[in-house]
Amino acid sequence: MVKKYFLKYACSTLTKEELATTVSEKLGIEFEKGSGGSLGYRFGELAESISIFDHYNAYDDFWAEENFKHCPVLLTASCTQGKNVEKAAKAQFLQDKFATIPELVEIRVQIL
């Protein structure tokens, strides 16, 4: 069975830019500005995507994670391409690196 890994974290104390700097230093990557003010890393060796964005969507008056309204910034990562063992290793590597960032709180890890 093909598996895909999705990670989601919340951050209550850093801005998007501050979190991007911290994650960039930990992972040795660069984030690019995307639509809606998000910051992203796409189709690299570490993951298919790592995104940092505002938690609250004012246009739709929507919180992506109701239980984390106190966290204005979310970080997501996806590992969806390659062999299952490679995706699992990438996801575990990211989880381990994100665990060293005290400002991040893990919301969920999904394996689909």
Q: Which residues contact 15 (CB under 8 A, 6 or more apart)?
A: 73
What is the pLDDT at residue 1?
85
Cβ distance 97 to 104 under 8 Å?
A: no
Q: What residues pair up with 110 in beta bridges, in sequence order?
A: 6
0.85 exceeded by pTM: yes
Give the per-residue pLDDT at 57. Answer: 86
pLDDT at 37: 87
The pLDDT profile of the chain, 112 residues, written as one tens digit per residue, is: 889 999 999 999 999 999 999 999 999 999 999 988 899 999 999 999 999 999 998 888 999 999 999 999 999 999 999 999 999 999 999 999 999 999 999 999 999 9
DSSP state of 100: T
Nearest to 103 by CA among 66, 65, 64, 74: 74
What the chain holds in terms of domains, given with CATH numbers, is 5-111 (3.30.310.180)
CA distances from 61 to 41, 57, 69, 83 (A): 26, 6, 12, 39
Predicted local confidence at residue 59, as pLDDT: 85
